[in-house]
């Protein structure tokens, strides 16, 4: 505190300080009486609580809400409730498939890493699986997403020069730089970079050791409980996305009306049919309540020795939101590196998502017409 300011406070006459204190005490006492005794059933929440903010429904006072998925959970079943999320960079090379426990991530981003090959940034809040991977290196633009989700921790193996600068200067909570361990499995005899796995519980323990425990606050998206919210939107029960070109790294989604969710597919087989995206551990197909296509600018990095690209995730742009077997054209906005990306319909109203897991594909805006739905 500025010394002059301190002096101004300390030079006040004692009786004035006492008077102000009594007034403040009386106001606080009245507020507590009104809320707790008068209202009886209401609960006072800290301004940093993960309940009751940004339109969250309080419901039962023992109920908490997953801030990434909007799912309501009994607090006793949510040991993650007071922890920040962690992210893992997950390989999507054909030799890295099927991935382990990608199915248990609360939110997954898919963005091109190099040569039209996509890579996944998977955020884990409600679970910490004991095998996640294969793990790969990170790029700077993935770290922009890490910063917006409560300054999450991230596990990766390797980095681009730009990402290393970001890790050291923004800074970023890099578990790799913090000493995280991994192991390799290679039953298919593939290249080494497709074989590394990590334990989510070990990552959580390392976060605690590094002093990264505690809640990371972030802007929570809006969630709906009205099944007919977007019933007037056009139908979209099948979606295909070619980030650069049709092939092994194309993505597909098919609406499952029984679960009101989208089943995920990845690449094509020899008969030109989409291949189900299966989890290595559970043997189940990946499935999402909310699928977002976010069109972003793809820009070469000037002077990069490997001709790397970057994707502009701050600013604004267009996109598509697929929920309830329908499609809504949207705009997106991210005011700064640390701000949450928000999605709006064409009338300027913030999108209300289904409670459940998210898949977000960041697609080069030069290829908008390569996202097809029917």
Q: With a cut of 80, say whether residue 23 has pLDDT above it.
A: no
- Of residues 253 and 20, more confidence is placed in 253
SS3 102: helix
The string of DSSP codes covering 5-39 is HHHHHHTS-HHHHHHHHHHHHHHHHHHHIIIIIIT
Distance CA 286, CA 104 (A): 9
SS3 45: coil
319 close to 365: Cβ distance less than 8 angstroms = no
- Work out the average pLDDT over 20-32: 47
The per-residue pLDDT for range 32-73, each reduced to its tens digit, is 444 333 333 333 233 334 444 444 444 556 899 999 999 999
CA separation, residue 140 to residues 145, 162, 268, 313 (Å): 9, 6, 30, 11
Least confident of 21-30, 45-54, 361-370: 45-54
Q: With a cut of 90, say whether residue 157 has pLDDT above it.
A: yes
Distance CA 7, CA 138 (A): 50
pLDDT level of residue 118 (50, 70, 90 thresholds): very high
The per-residue pLDDT for range 341-361, each reduced to its tens digit, is 999 999 999 999 999 999 999
**Which value, to the nearest 10 degrees, does the dihedral of the CA atoms of residues 177, 179, 183, 188 take?**
0
Q: With a cut of 80, say whether residue 137 has pLDDT above it.
A: yes
351 close to 326: Cβ distance less than 8 angstroms = no
Q: So what's the pLDDT on residue 140?
A: 98
- Of residues 91 and 25, more confidence is placed in 91
Q: Looking at the domain 86-209, which fold is it? A: YerB-like fold (3.50.90)
CATH number for the domain running over 222-373: 3.50.90.10
| CB neighbour class for 49 (10 Å; exposed up to 12, middle 13-18, buried from 19) | middle
Query: Which pTM does this prediction carry?
Result: 0.85
Which spans in 64-199 are helix H?
Answer: 140-148, 161-169
Q: Dmax of the chain from CA atoms?
A: 87
- Work out the average pLDDT over 368-373: 98
Q: With a cut of 90, say whether residue 31 has pLDDT above it.
A: no
Q: So what's the pLDDT on residue 60?
A: 58
pLDDT level of residue 2 (50, 70, 90 thresholds): very low
Q: Which of these, 364, 350, 355, 287, lies nearest to 113 by C-alpha position?
A: 364
Q: So what's the pLDDT on residue 215?
A: 86
């Amino acid at each position: 505190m500025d010394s002059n300011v301190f002096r101004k406070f300390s030079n006040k006459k004692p009786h004035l300080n006492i008077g102000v204190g009594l007034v403040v005490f009386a106001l606080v006492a009245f507020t507590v009486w009104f809320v707790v005794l008068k209202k009886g059933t209401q609960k006072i929440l800290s301004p940093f609580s993960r309940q009751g903010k940004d339109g969250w429904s309080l419901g039962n006072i023992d109920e908490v809400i997953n801030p990434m998925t909007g799912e309501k959970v009994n607090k006793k079943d949510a040991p993650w409730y007071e922890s920040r999320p962690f992210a893992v960079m997950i390989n999507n090379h054909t030799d890295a498939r099927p991935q382990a426990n990608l199915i248990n991530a609360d939110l997954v981003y898919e963005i091109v890493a190099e040569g039209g090959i996509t890579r996944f940034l998977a955020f884990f809040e409600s679970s910490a699986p004991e095998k996640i991977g294969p793990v790969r290196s990170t790029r700077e633009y993935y770290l922009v997403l890490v910063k917006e989700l409560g300054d999450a921790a991230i596990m990766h193996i390797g980095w681009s020069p730009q990402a290393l600068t970001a890790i050291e200067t923004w800074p970023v909570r890099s578990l790799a730089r913090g000493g995280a361990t991994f192991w390799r499995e290679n039953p298919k005899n593939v290249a080494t970079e497709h074989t590394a796995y990590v334990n989510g519980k070990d990552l959580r323990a390392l976060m605690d050791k590094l002093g990264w425990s505690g809640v990371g606050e972030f802007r929570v998206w809006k969630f709906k409980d009205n099944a007919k919210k977007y019933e007037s939107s056009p139908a979209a029960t099948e979606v295909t996305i070619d980030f650069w070109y049709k092939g092994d790294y194309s993505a597909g989604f098919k609406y499952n009306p029984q679960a009101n969710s989208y089943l995920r597919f990845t690449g094509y087989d020899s008969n030109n049919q989409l291949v189900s995206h299966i989890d290595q551990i559970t043997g189940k197909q990946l499935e999402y309540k909310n699928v977002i296509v976010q069109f972003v600018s793809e820009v070469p990095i000037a002077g990069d020795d490997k001709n790397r690209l970057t994707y502009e995730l701050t600013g604004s742009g267009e996109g598509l939101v697929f929920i309830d077997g329908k499609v809504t054209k949207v705009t997106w906005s991210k005011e700064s590196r640390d701000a949450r990306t928000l999605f709006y319909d064409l009338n300027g109203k913030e999108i209300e998502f289904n409670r459940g897991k998210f898949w977000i594909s960041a697609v080069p805006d030069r290829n908008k017409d390569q996202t097809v739905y029917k």
